[in-house]
Amino acid sequence: MEISQSWSKISLDDRSPQLNTPHSLEISQGERGHLLAVEMNENGFKGEADTKIQVRGLNKVSDKGDSILNNVNVDIPRGVIMGIIGPSGSGKSTFLRALNRLWEPPKNTVFMDGDDICGVDVLSLRRKVGMLFQLPVLFEGTVADNIRYGPKLKGKKLSDNDVYKLLTLADLDSSFFNKSGGELSVGQAQRVALARTLANEPEVLLLDEPTSALDPISTQNIEDVMVKLKKDQKITIVIVSHSIKQIQRIADVVCLLVDGDIVEIMKPDQLSESKHPMALRFLQLSS
């Protein structure tokens, strides 16, 4: 059974008195009671097979003493698209950057496949956990050079055929192979950046407003690719977006982050049932 199909109803339980207990997504129907329940082992948390990334008690305080992330606890299920929404300055990018150590989280706060990411070699972590930003930055050289960059660092040369396959995955045709970055639209460059990230065979993709600078057609292309990557390659995707409609189109689950706090985790079509004023405001403004 597909995970998304089993999520017939997800409820947020944030009332647990236990320290470090995550917001748990609870399935009220189906045979599996707690999809995202966790267990402890001697090294800390060990995830169930269905959890790709666990975040436990993640805090960040600014130099001035302001709270940027406030005891964030969340489980990101394997092979789903999780959307992150929230007002500007609420900590979405900071949260995302913690997941591949672009911002170094404290030890024992972020776990991938049950292991503390702070204990993993940072470059191999970033290969496994790729990231795309609002605006793509391509390196000098051709599209093919860009796509070959990551594997080359590991001493692996991608064949032309490998590059064509990656172009196809990112919804670009073979004519892009020899183009330079300067010849591309922002939407095309974003798809090249995606192909370059995919060349590292990531298990997780972090996307920070990846389509906010794109036209609706380029946006749809990227969304289609995301859904395909999840479906065909079982990649876990975490996407920050200001577009509720985008989240509703592609995400399986959505987190609402307000002032550094995760205040809601729900299925996108349950947003209208949220009692949180910010969730309702997002919904109103998106229609």
Ligand X SMILES: Nc1ncnc2c1ncn2[C@@H]1O[C@H](COP(=O)(O)OP(=O)(O)OP(=O)(O)O)[C@@H](O)[C@H]1O
Q: Of the listed pieces 35-43, 72-80, 87-95, 277-285, which binds ligand X according to CB under 6 A?
A: 87-95
Q: CB-wise, 68 or 186, nearer to ligand X?
A: 68
Q: Of the listed pieces 47-55, 90-98, 148-156, 167-175, which binds ligand X according to CB under 6 A?
A: 90-98
CA distance 272 to 137: 37
Q: CB-wise, 66 or 215, nearer to ligand X?
A: 66
What lies within 8 Å, CB to CB, of 156 at 6+ separation is none
Residues 42-101 that bind Mg ion (CB under 5 A): 93
Contact 112, 187 (CB under 8 A): no
Which amino acid, residue 64?
Answer: K
DSSP state of 180: B
Task: Select from ligand X, Mg ion, none the partner in contact with residue 90, using the beta carbon and a kind-dependent cut-off of 5 to 8 Å.
Answer: ligand X
Per-residue x/- track, 126-145, ligand X (CB under 6 A): --------------------
Given 88, 161, 175, 287, the residue binding ligand X (CB under 6 A): 88
Task: Select from ligand X, Mg ion, none the partner in contact with residue 68, using the beta carbon and a kind-dependent cut-off of 5 to 8 Å.
Answer: ligand X
CA distance 66 to 273: 31
Which tokens go with 164?
């064509």
Q: Is 62 in the site for ligand X (CB under 6 A)?
A: yes
Given 51, 73, 90, 221, the residue binding ligand X (CB under 6 A): 90
Q: How far is the CB of 87 from Mg ion (least distance, A)?
A: 10
Q: How far is the CB of 91 from Mg ion (least distance, A)?
A: 8
Count of positions on this chain that bind ligand X (CB under 6 A): 10
Q: How far is the CB of 136 from ligand X (least distance, A)?
A: 17
CA distance 213 to 209: 8
Q: How far is the CB of 209 from ligand X (least distance, A)?
A: 7
CA distance 82 to 286: 19
Q: How far is the CB of 88 from Mg ion (least distance, A)?
A: 7
Q: Is 146 in the site for Mg ion (CB under 5 A)?
A: no
Q: Is 58 in the site for ligand X (CB under 6 A)?
A: no
Q: How far is the CB of 26 from Mg ion (least distance, A)?
A: 29
Which amino acid, residue 116?
Answer: D
Stretch (H or E) spanning 45: strand 44-46
Residues 92-121 that bind ligand X (CB under 6 A): 92-94
CA distance 132 to 97: 11
Q: How far is the CB of 83 from Mg ion (least distance, A)?
A: 14
Contact 206, 130 (CB under 8 A): yes
CA distance 84 to 209: 10
Task: Select from ligand X, Mg ion, none the partner in contact with residue 196, using the beta carbon and a kind-dependent cut-off of 5 to 8 Å.
Answer: none
Tokens 């709270």 sit at which residue? 67
Strands (E), 95-203: 110-112, 115-116, 129-132
Question: Interface with ligand X by CB under 6 A: which residues?
Answer: 62, 68, 86, 88-94
